[in-house]
Amino acid sequence: MDTLDTMLAGLASAPTPAALDALDERVFADLLARAAHPGPSIAAFGSGAAMVALAVGVATAQLSIAPQAKAPELAALSSPTAYAPSTLLGQ
């Protein structure tokens, strides 16, 4: 562990590299340049992807709907059926 402490102490006492002196200025200049010329935003890509997903979902739902057979009419109260109590009792 003494070797590591010695290496870190040597690193702390070393002079700062000259390339790091102007690093902040270069980063902020690049950020300002990017802000001056904005490209397509993430929101535009996100909304486009949402619209495509919605269109694919609607198309898939329309294609997967099977034609339904007509449901039989309920005639429980309007006409006698084969299983009505009066029919089953012989009236």
pLDDT of residue 75: 55
Query: Going by C-beta distance under 8 Å and a sequence separation of 6 or more, which residues neighbour residue 87?
Result: 80, 81
Q: How many CB atoms lie within 10 A of CB 84?
A: 13
pLDDT of residue 26: 92
Query: Going by C-beta distance under 8 Å and a sequence separation of 6 or more, which residues neighbour residue 75?
Result: 81
Please give the chain's pLDDT, 91 residues, in tens.
Answer: 689 999 999 999 999 888 888 889 999 999 998 888 777 777 778 888 999 999 999 998 888 877 777 766 665 565 656 777 777 777 5
